[in-house]
Amino acid sequence: MKSATTISIIALVASLPCRVRAVEQLLPGRMLTMRAAASGSQRTLFVARSTAIVAPTRGGPDDPTVVGATLALRAASGESAAFDLPASNWSVNAAGTAYKFRNPSAPGGPSTVKMALVKDHATVRLGARATGITLDEPSQGSIAVIFTSGTLRYCALFGGTIVRDQPGRFTAKNAPPPASCQGTTTTTSTVPTTTTTTTSTTTTTIGPPAICGDGTIGPGEQCDPPGSACGQDPCGADCTCPCDFLDPSVCLHPFPNDYFTVADPTTDTGRRVHLALAGMPRNASQKPIDPTDYNLNDGFSPGASMVLRVPGVDLGVTGAAPITDVERSLDADAPIVLVNTSTLAHHLFWAEIDSNASSEGTRAVIIRPAVNLVENTRYIVALRRMKDSGGALIPPNPVFVAYRDGTITTDPATEARRPHMEDLFATLAAAGVGRSDLYLAWDFTVASRRNISERLLFVRDDGFARLGAAAPTFVVSQIDDGGGAGVDDKIFRRVTGTFLVERYVSSPSPGARFVLGPDGLPLHQPTPQQASFICNIPRAALASAIATAAPGRASIYGHGL
């Protein structure tokens, strides 16, 4: 299980179309070399050269400095792997013809990839400090390489001129272009089981690799019916659906949502968050939030508010529980209910309209738990009889109506989700909530306690173990006692300084991220981090006319502890 911080994203403002098709560039592979040494070190180098290579358009939907990129490997042995190259580590030259990815900390930092280059009419190359696949079979046979940035996909298949193919080593050169990117998919039916191992940047699937558009939700996929918004070409090996069609008004609505997770038997909850970069909220420069760290979680925050869009709703007329009467949320006929699927109990909350929305078109309904949700537990959110200010019922999304009323559609994406929706309706019925008047219903899983706390607990325990019985190194930079008269009527002396603490993040500067090891736990860094302190000595600790001086007991407080 991989530990991670929990998610708290309230302002989800990205609104993106999901139905796009990939632009395939079929490349002659100059070289692919992979090595997994007995010492544990791993290397992957991929090089393709062609004057036909077209780089992404700078600032466009395929610009890796905006959307990032992934490299997928698929072996005939039945293994596949995907390497994330987050947007934060990409740069582009002034002409917009050469994109470079740099991560000197690899295999640490945000990716196991150390470098990558996409140069217009010249080359696509990548070097990683990992192989992703085990290389422990007698032979790999062939290995496909798919480099994806937005809707651009560069594909190569190394299976012709193989220089070395043995346990721990694979080297191939001068591969001709494949017939298609789908042609780079290699499968096997001889592997009987599937096991998934996830690190912070690499996903390895042992068993038949996921094939996008084959109509089967494979390992690491959220959805895969042909013709769906995330089916067929745009998905690559790691199918991801940026938006949920149950609430098409805003991408990532409704949130939190198990639609944005995948099954993962290695986690405590059995699920793993799988947000797509294309669906993440964007800043004023249209750069999306990097979902890498969020995607280490096995669920969502126990304190997360639920967010969705209900156009024109008046919560007062609807009768939703306000902050002044949260107990109404437990009424049997409450228009909004939050159901614990393990106990079927209704959870206490209040609902309100977002008062900070910039326009009515983006104004959200926010459902806030009055007490934290239970860790490692799935919840269903159900809304019914939503009304506008005049008391008229607001019609639901037609897709949800088709689920609610049992109307079969001709859309494969809709029908692939129907069994899950029927399970939701059955659970709601057992909790006393009928389906006939539902406006919307969805579910989400709360992260496990271990996932929420494991990384920080490890830092605490490892840091104290390294410190032992010693005090941290410190420097006093200033002592203020008011010239002997004291600082004020409460504080006699104020001591300011710095001290050194063990470091587990990528740099001592703000904005640093955890450096994670293969087990998902933070790696201790060789140089410490400087922290500041202020020590206030109160007058109460001094001798006075009514008391003698006594040792004072330290009290520690501060923001961000």
Give me the residue spans of the domains in the chain.
Answer: 23-208+224-232, 297-449, 471-541
The neighbouring-strand residues paired with 172 are: 32, 162
The predicted-structure confidence for 129-145, as pLDDT tens digits, reads as follows 998 888 887 888 888 89
Could you give phi then psi for residue 119, rounded to 5 degrees?
A: -120, 130
Q: How far apart are CA 327 and CA 334, in angstroms?
A: 10
Residue 223: the pLDDT is 54
pLDDT at position 221 is 53
- Residue 546 has what pLDDT? 67
pLDDT at residue 166, as a whole number: 87
Q: How far apart are CA 210 and CA 231, in angstroms?
A: 12
- Looking at residue 237, its amino acid is A
CB 440 within 8 A of CB 338: no
Model pTM? 0.59
Tokens at 324, concatenated: 């002044």
Rounded-to-integer distance, Cα 100 and Cα 55, Å: 11
CB 35 within 8 A of CB 131: yes
Give residue 242's pLDDT. 67
- How many alpha carbons lie under 13 Å from residue 231 in its C-beta half-sphere? 15
Q: Are 321 and 342 in contact (CB under 8 A)?
A: no
* Residue numbers of the chain with a pLDDT score lower than 70: 1-23, 78, 160, 182-242, 545-547, 559-561
Q: Quote the radius of gyration of the chain (alpha carbons, Å).
A: 27
Quick one: which H or E segment has residue 70? strand 69-75
190: which strand partners?
A: none
Q: What is the pLDDT of residue 241?
A: 59
3-state secondary structure string across 486-554:
CCCCCEEEEEEEEEEECCCECCCCCCCCECECCCCCECCCCCCEEEEEEEEEEHHHCCCCCCCCCCCCC
pLDDT of residue 545: 61
- At 140, is the secondary structure helix, strand, or coil? coil
Cis peptide before 107 (omega within 30 of 0): yes
Q: Which pLDDT value is given to residue 229? A: 41
Q: Distance between CA atoms of 244 and 259, rounded to whole angstroms?
A: 7
pLDDT for the residue 435: 95
> Which pLDDT score, from 0 to 100, does residue 416 have?
83
For residue 427, the Cα-to-chain-centroid distance in whole angstroms is 28
232 within 8 A of 239, measured Cβ to Cβ: no
DSSP string for 458-485: HHHHHHHHHHTTSPPPEEEEEEE-GGGT
Distance CA 200, CA 4 (A): 10
